């Protein structure tokens, strides 16, 4: 913008970052319209040119829950702490899917967007944030399905919502920043080690079994319970499940650990991502 005295007042100055701790978070707010456009694009493209469209958001958790009920409840006889198996597995499926999608898709941000990053400037953090927001919309749709089951079993007095359900927004926020933090670290590492992209997809399937998704933490063998509790997602899913179903236990230590682990991993991810994004185009 040209001033009356002849000087120029720029609305945005792009300068080289000299520190990995200079995260340029203010730029993200300036580009919030771009963030919204990318989120909208991702949401629309998910069901565009499909026969069932948005119904796919419901189909995945429904069929996954049915399979879990048949295999783990009816055949394996795994405890659900007295909760109806259908809603017990629905909680774990919806929560785990959100975290898993956030982490998996964020872990390939550099690789998937190298052509865009190399042509135009915008805060690179916009892309992973758009993934978190897009998946949050998907989670919201699937959460409605869970609410329908919750209302159904509430009338039968088989589930009992308690005050810990008020932690729901905190739990979802922690899942988001945990997936974002780990994903940022992995996508930074994939600029040098591309094999990590393949390991993540396979590793997430194994990690699910080290998380109380298909079983309560109390049903895990005593010698492995402490190891499973080291998984930050364990405390979050147990809190989520206990608050809405009223079965199982709330583990204050595990939840507190999840809070600290999520925040630390997010900060570490932001720093690593910021450091690598300066010259990643030359490496990929």
Give the alpha-carbon dihedral of 220, 223, 224, 228, to 10 degrees. 90
Q: Is residue 8 in some structural domain? A: no
Asked whether residue 12 is assigned to any structural domain, the reply reads no
Q: Is residue 18 part of a domain?
A: no
Would 128 be classed as within a structural domain?
Answer: yes
As a whole number, mean pLDDT of residues 175-202 equals 86
Rounded to whole angstroms, how far apart are CA atoms 156 and 99?
30
**pLDDT 10s digits, 100-115:** 999 999 988 877 777 7
Instruction: Return the minimum-mean-pLDDT range out of 35-39, 87-91, 253-257.
Output: 35-39
For residues 244 and 239, what is the distance between their CA atoms, to the nearest angstrom? 9
pLDDT (tens digit per residue) in 226-243: 888 889 999 999 999 999
Domain count, the chain: 1
Quick: pLDDT tens for 26-84.
777 787 888 888 888 877 776 666 656 667 778 888 899 999 999 998 888 888 888 89
* Rounded Cα gap, residues 270 and 181, in angstroms: 7
Q: What is the 3-state secondary structure (H, E, C) of 101-153?
A: HHHHHHCCHHHHCHHHHCCCCCCCCHHHHHHHHHHHHHHHHHHHHHHHHHHHH
Which structural domain range is residue 220 located in? 25-282
In a domain, 139, yes or no: yes
Predicted structure pTM score: 0.85
User: Does residue 7 form part of some domain?
Assistant: no
**Residue 236 is assigned to a structural domain of this protein:** yes
pLDDT digit string, tens, across residues 136-172: 988 998 899 999 999 999 888 788 899 999 999 999 9
Residue 119 in any domain: the answer is: yes
């Amino acid at each position: 913008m040209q001033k009356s005295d002849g000087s120029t007042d720029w609305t945005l100055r792009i300068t080289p970052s000299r520190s990995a701790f200079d995260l340029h978070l203010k730029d993200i707010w300036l580009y919030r319209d771009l963030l919204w456009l990318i989120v909208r694009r991702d949401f629309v493209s998910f069901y565009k040119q499909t026969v069932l469209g948005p119904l796919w958001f419901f189909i995945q958790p429904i069929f996954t829950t049915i399979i879990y009920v048949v295999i783990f409840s009816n055949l394996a006889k795994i405890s659900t702490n007295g909760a109806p198996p259908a809603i017990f597995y629905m909680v774990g499926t919806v929560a785990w899917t959100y975290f898993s999608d956030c982490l998996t898709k964020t872990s390939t941000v550099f690789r998937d967007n190298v052509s865009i990053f190399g042509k135009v400037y915008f805060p690179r953090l916009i892309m992973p944030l758009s993934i978190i927001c897009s998946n949050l919309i998907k989670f919201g749709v699937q959460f409605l399905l869970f609410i329908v089951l919750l209302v159904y079993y509430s009338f039968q007095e088989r589930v009992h919502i308690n005050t810990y359900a008020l932690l729901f927004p905190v739990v979802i926020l922690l899942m988001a920043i945990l997936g974002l933090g780990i994903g940022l670290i992995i996508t930074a590492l994939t600029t040098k080690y591309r094999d990590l992209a393949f390991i993540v997809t396979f590793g997430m399937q194994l990690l699910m079994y080290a998380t109380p998704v298909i079983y309560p933490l109390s049903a895990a063998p005593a010698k492995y319970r402490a190891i499973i509790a080291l998984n930050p997602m364990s405390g979050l899913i147990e809190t989520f499940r206990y608050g809405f179903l009223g079965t199982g236990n709330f583990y204050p230590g595990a939840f507190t650990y999840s809070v600290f682990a999520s925040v630390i991993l997010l900060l570490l991810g932001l720093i690593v991502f910021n450091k690598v994004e300066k010259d990643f185009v030359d490496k990929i």
